[in-house]
Structure 1
Amino acid sequence: MALFDLSLDELRDYRPDRDEPADFDAFWKRTLEEAAGQAEAAAFTPYDAALSTVDVYDTSFSGWGGHRIAAWLVVPKGAEGPLPCVVQYIGYGGGRGMPHDHLMWPATGRAVFVVDVRGQGAVSHDRIGHTPDPHGGGNPQAPGFMTRGILDPEAYYYRRVFTDAVRAVDVAAAHPAIDGERIAVAGASQGGGIATAVAGLHAGVQTALIDVPFLSHFRRAVTVTDEDPYQEIVNFLATQHGKEEDVFRTLSYFDGTNFAARARGRALYSVALMDQICPPSTVYASYNHWAGSEKDITVYPWNGHEGGASYNRGAQLRWLGGRL
């Protein structure tokens, strides 16, 4: 592992042109309106997690296509609400795990709403998922999720994931224990990419914690790293000749730089300069396009995709401070 991308001075000024389709906003407006129209009531079922200082609810809500999405709502026991809430999204391959995996934010007096990722959560014993993806993409795909439905934005996997994630904010905000005016979105890697998308799509999100984000500046990512998951796209193009234009057209609807340019609130990013999974230039492409009211970035010069790990969680706790 070594420095392989732009220098830090170059990264600070790196603000590439965005590849944005003309109907980007119309596409997402229609997608989210369709999902809202298919939504049924969320279910919050008390769950005995053998934890004495929090109340836990095994949650199910309607995401894209009306499909039921699993989540955990974890609320400090006895706290006087309504409380601020962190909506937490999960990294690639992972699911919502178990309630005892998510006690940091309740320990600060905030609620946390941990959202499952459809179709994921079967590769790690500590990141178990419970939500299937009943909708297939139709085209051949490389192993993984990056090329599922990649020839058509209507069918692309992350259309469903991002829609689920936006719906999660609405569901959390409507719960009586949560103050809908004080919601943050958070995630690392894929979770950071999802949080960026939600910050750009949901007008009610005013705070985002975006840690070594994935799903940003796709055209550069696939040319500067040969690590998965971006390599899944390369593998697909290596066999599906003539599909490049369709692939990158689809990805332009899901690029973190386009969502960051629509963000309204504040954000704390993190970046690791030796990260070969989410290259630093792809992180800065999103960060430098962030259009919200305030932004900061924590830089880890000697780290790979783990970023600041526990140190970064401490940085998030301090930064969030009086902001939420």
Structure 2
Amino acid sequence: CPGLLLTPRYGSVNHVPDYHDRRRYAVLQLMHGGQRLADQPFAAAYPGLLTHGIDDPAAYIYRGIVADCLRAAEFLLSREEVDKNRVGIIGDDLALITAARRPHFIAVQAAGLTFYRLMEARQRTDAYPIEELNDHLRAYPDRQDAVARTLALFDPLHHVSQIATALAAPLLSVGDPGSLSGPEWLQPLMSALGEGVERYTLTHEGGTDQDLLDAWMANKLGVEPRSRFWSSV
């Protein structure tokens, strides 16, 4: 059957994969080190995880989190029940980085990016988790250059060219103009992803967005779309 990897969100817990996804895919929801069910010996703090060890790329917590995602991809692809030619991935920056580093996915859905142009993005919002970075730099203003060097390594903009040269079809969810998910803000990323990139403009109507995104992934992986909110019976 098709495989589907869900990369971890920013928060202490991840949701159990939806029933309809479990009916159609061999689906793996990853908990990275520090999240619930993977919080021994290290339990992540929220807020705080975004800047944990950020002054040194070798010590930055997201180095380990990215490694967890890569191992999850390898595990899913190793399963006998998974059709290796029909594997997708859904998430945020972690989905893009994982797809770039493990080019076995044929479909990539990404939304809610945090690390994309983060040193610029922090100047345009006071919303968390990005505000964690502002808090850190207010406390340690002399560390800005070190932080910028670390974050450059995790910006999906510097990785996704490898998706453009692979077989993966990427889909970016695009928000309102002027926002950190708006079309003009995401344009450099879409350009780096190449001609194959698709964009989905969010309606902010939960059921509508969910159903259309579900149908896109289902089509790529060769299964029937399923509405999460409306029964066909």
Same fold (TM over 0.5): yes
Q: 2:70 aligns with which of 159, 166, 171?
A: 166
Aligned-partner residue type, residue 88 of structure 1:
L
Choose between structure 1 and 2 for higher RCO, CA contacts under 8 A separated by at least 6 residues.
Answer: 2
Residue in structure 2 matched with residue 271 of structure 1 by the alignment? 174
Aligned-partner residue type, residue 266 of structure 1:
A
Residue in structure 2 matched with residue 286 of structure 1 by the alignment? 189
Separation in 2 of the partners of 1:199 and 1:279?
A: 20
For the pair 1:105 / 2:8, whether they are aligned, the reply is no
Q: Deviations over 1:40-72 (max 9, x none)?
A: xxxxxxxxxxxxxxxxxxxxxxxxxxxxxxxxx
- CA shift in 2, pair 1:168/1:226, >3 Å: same
Q: CA RMSD in A?
A: 2.5
- CA shift in 2, pair 1:94/1:319, >3 Å: same
Contact 1:216 1:285 in 2 (8 A): no
For residue 247 of structure 1, report the CA deviation from its aligned partner. 0.2
Q: Give SS of 2:4's match.
A: strand
Residue in structure 2 matched with residue 236 of structure 1 by the alignment? 136
Residue in structure 2 matched with residue 130 of structure 1 by the alignment? 37
Where do 5+ consecutive residues of structure 1 fail to align?
Answer: 1-82, 121-128
Q: Deviations over 1:154-184 (max 9, x none)?
A: 1111111111011101101111111223211
Contact 2:109 2:171 in 1 (8 A): yes
Separation in 1 of the partners of 2:46 and 2:55?
A: 13
Residue in structure 2 matched with residue 295 of structure 1 by the alignment? 197
Separation in 2 of the partners of 1:288 and 1:94?
A: 33
TM-score, scaled relative to structure 1: 0.61
For residue 200 of structure 1, report the CA deviation from its aligned partner. 1.2
| Identity of matched residues, % | 20
Residue in structure 2 matched with residue 218 of structure 1 by the alignment? 118
Separation in 1 of the partners of 2:51 and 2:15?
A: 25
Separation in 2 of the partners of 1:152 and 1:136?
A: 20
For residue 96 of structure 1, report the CA deviation from its aligned partner. 3.4
1:151-190 matches, within 5 Å, as 151-187=55-91
Separation in 2 of the partners of 1:261 and 1:177?
A: 30
Separation in 1 of the partners of 2:210 and 2:32?
A: 21
Where do 5+ consecutive residues of structure 2 fail to align?
Answer: 222-233
For residue 103 of structure 1, report the CA deviation from its aligned partner. 1.6
Separation in 2 of the partners of 1:233 and 1:135?
A: 21
Contact 2:54 2:150 in 1 (8 A): yes
Separation in 1 of the partners of 2:106 and 2:26?
A: 16
* Max Rg structure: 1
Figure out how many residues of one structure are paired with residues of the other and give that number: 217
For residue 256 of structure 1, report the CA deviation from its aligned partner. 1.4
1:35-50 matches, within 5 Å, as none
Higher strand share: 1
TM-score, scaled relative to structure 2: 0.83
- CA shift in 2, pair 1:225/1:285, >3 Å: farther
- CA shift in 2, pair 1:267/1:94, >3 Å: farther
Separation in 1 of the partners of 2:39 and 2:186?
A: 29
Aligned-partner residue type, residue 130 of structure 1:
L
For residue 279 of structure 1, report the CA deviation from its aligned partner. 4.1
1:14-33 matches, within 5 Å, as none
Q: Deviations over 1:182-213 (max 9, x none)?
A: 211102xxxx1110110111121231011232
Q: Give SS of 1:146's match.
A: helix
Separation in 2 of the partners of 1:238 and 1:133?
A: 31
- CA shift in 2, pair 1:136/1:321, >3 Å: closer
Structure 1 outlier segments of 4+, above 3 Å: 133-137, 281-285
